[in-house]
Each structure stands twice: as structure tokens, then as C-alpha cells.
Amino acid sequence: MKTIVCERPLHLAVHERPIPLRGPGEVLVRIRRVGICGTDYHIFGGNQPYLDYPRVMGHELAATVEEADADADLAPGDVITILPYLACDECIACRRGKPNCCTHLQVLGVHRDGGMAEYLSVPRAAVVPVQDLSLDQAAMVEFLAIGAHAVRRAGVIADARILVVGAGPIGVATALFARQDGARVTLADTDADRLDQARRLTGIADTVLVDDVIACVLASRTDGEFFDVVFDATGSARAIEAGFGYVAHGGTYVLVSIVKAQIAFSDPEFHKRETTLMGSRNATSADFRHVIASIRAGLIPTAAMHTQSFPLVEAAEYFPQLIAGQGSVLKAIATW
């Protein structure tokens, strides 16, 4: 089978590998679509904190079943997506129902080789049937679930004032699910083109450009009170640190993005506001089900959000183009 390997930063190559053998309790799937994520761009660029090279990337996956156990309730040809966070089921996080932050977590495409291969064998528990979703929609479930998980974790309620900083795929997903819960959502980014695209494709009308006077702008929009919940989806240490100042007194700050940096903030301001600080990592099977139901109900504009497609065998050519054109890329999906 063909496999796309990131041999080292900025270098992708097509390798031939044997089709994997299906282990006990596993499902052999044929990969059909691979959504390209910020994590993949970071791996390609050499600044992902949890990775060793060479690596087969790809964790936003749509596939069809090739072979499964007789009792797996799956048939050849079934369209599925994959929960790419492989947990140990034994550690403290797993025992408390939080496998997304398992102490021994293995994420496909990050800690172990992922879905930029024609075939993959994964545990049955990682296989999520998507019923009547298209292959493209199935490949979008994972990144949407990260936003849905962050919103659920924050306990967003109707009419809450929400600020999402970062208008990439994860930020847009977070904004969409906060809006779905009835919140008043403001989306912020440093890139005017990216903001315009998000507004045009998703209907998130309240957007604001991050500049030197952003704090004053946000204060004026909220009568000086700022936001009940702030989500950071930027991947920027500087942006994360600035975001502490946008949280209302008694509010919550959720760090969805991850950076290779130490984060500092003003302790007096943090205590004065009694800020709740949360990390939000990955997603759970419950979040996947919520996303699938939302797509099926027509609540997520997946067709509009899917902005680019390209053949996966040409990834080496397309990756630099996608990174250079981030203002026009919301979700790129590679095809086998």
C-alpha cells in the first residue's frame, strides 16, 4: 500500500509498505479521506511537541470497513470515522471517564503512525459508524468534536458572552457549537482574510480583528465587562497570555490550543477575577456522537467549510501551498 511519510520537517515522501495485519479485536479499514489539521502543519513544520520522526500523519479520517470480527457489528463497505485517541483504559484518567487525557495516550498520526496510508488496522472501540454522512463529512467529525468538547467542558449556557480567539478550523468549530448552545459568540483573529472567510462560510457575524487596541475594542463591545468564557484556539503563546485579560470577573478561560512554551499571567488579576482556567484536550466518543448528530441535522455547514481537496499522493506539493495560503484555507481534505 502507499503511505505518506513525514521523514523529517518539511519533507514528505511516498513509501510502499505492507498492508497491516488485523489483530484480535481490531478492524481493518481502507482510508478514503484525510482532513488536514493544524497538528499536521506543525508536524510538517517541525514544531509539534509530542512527536518523533519519521511519522505517518493523519488523524481526521474517513474510511470504509474492509474486515472485522463477526461480532463487531460492522460490515465491509460501511463508512466510518475513527476516534484517533487510543487510551489504556486503566490509568486514573481512564478510570474517571476521561480517556481523552489518558496518561498513556497514543494519538494516531502523532504518537504512532496515522491515516495517511491506504489501509489501517485499529481497535474496534476506535471505529465510529457515521451512517448517512458522506466521506467528506466523516473526515470532518474529529476536528469539529474538539470544538464541541471544549464547549461542553466550559459549560456554555444560552445567552452567555463568548469570545473565541483564533479563526482556524478548531476556533470556528468551537464558535459553531457555542452558538448552537445559544451563546452570543464573538470570533477574533489577526488575519482579516481568515475572519472574512469564517464570517462568510459559517454565518458567525460578530468578528473582530486582533490588533494593538483589541482590549479596548472588546471592552467597548461588552460595557467593560468582557466575556463569560474565552476560548483560545491560536497556537500562540503571546495570544494565550493576552487572553487572560479578556475574561470577565467570575469567568472561564479555556485553552484549546497547545504551544511549546511556558505561559505567564498576572496572579493578582487572576485572583481578582476568580478566573477558572481549563485545558481542553482532544474529544470523547460522546463528542463524536454529538457532532455526527449535528451534521445530520444540518446544523453544521460542512460543505461550506470544506475549502480545498487534493490527492494525498501529492501531499509534498500541496502542504507548502496550504500553509502559505492559510487565509483562504478553512478545511483541506486529502483523498486516496
Whole-angstrom Cα Rg for the chain = 20
Please write the tens of the pLDDT for every residue from 169-190.
Answer: 999 999 999 999 999 999 999 9
Taking Cα atoms as reference points, which of 336, 1, 331 lies closest to residue 167? 331
What's the pLDDT tens digit per position in 211-256? 999 999 999 999 999 999 999 999 999 999 999 999 999 999 999 9
Cα(312)–Cα(117) distance, integer angstroms: 9
State the pLDDT at residue 49: 67
Q: What is the mean pLDDT of the chain?
A: 95
Higher pLDDT, 31 or 326: 31
The answer to which of 136-140, 316-320, 322-326 has the lowest mean pLDDT is 322-326
pLDDT value of residue 109: 96
Compute the distance between CA of residue 18 and CA of residue 12 in angstroms, rounded to an integer.
Answer: 19
| Cα separation, 34 vs 92, whole angstroms | 32
pTM score of the predicted model: 0.95
Are the C-beta atoms of residues 315 and 335 closer than 8 Å to each other? Answer: no
Residue range 52-84, pLDDT digits in tens: 899 999 999 999 999 999 999 999 999 999 999
pLDDT at 285 over 90: yes
**Comparison of pLDDT for 324 and 19, the residue scoring more:** 19
pLDDT band at 286 (very low <50, low <70, confident <90, very high): very high
Residue 197 pLDDT class (50, 70, 90 cuts): very high
- Do 186 and 164 contact (CB within 8 A), yes or no? yes
Q: Is the pLDDT of residue 46 over 90?
A: no
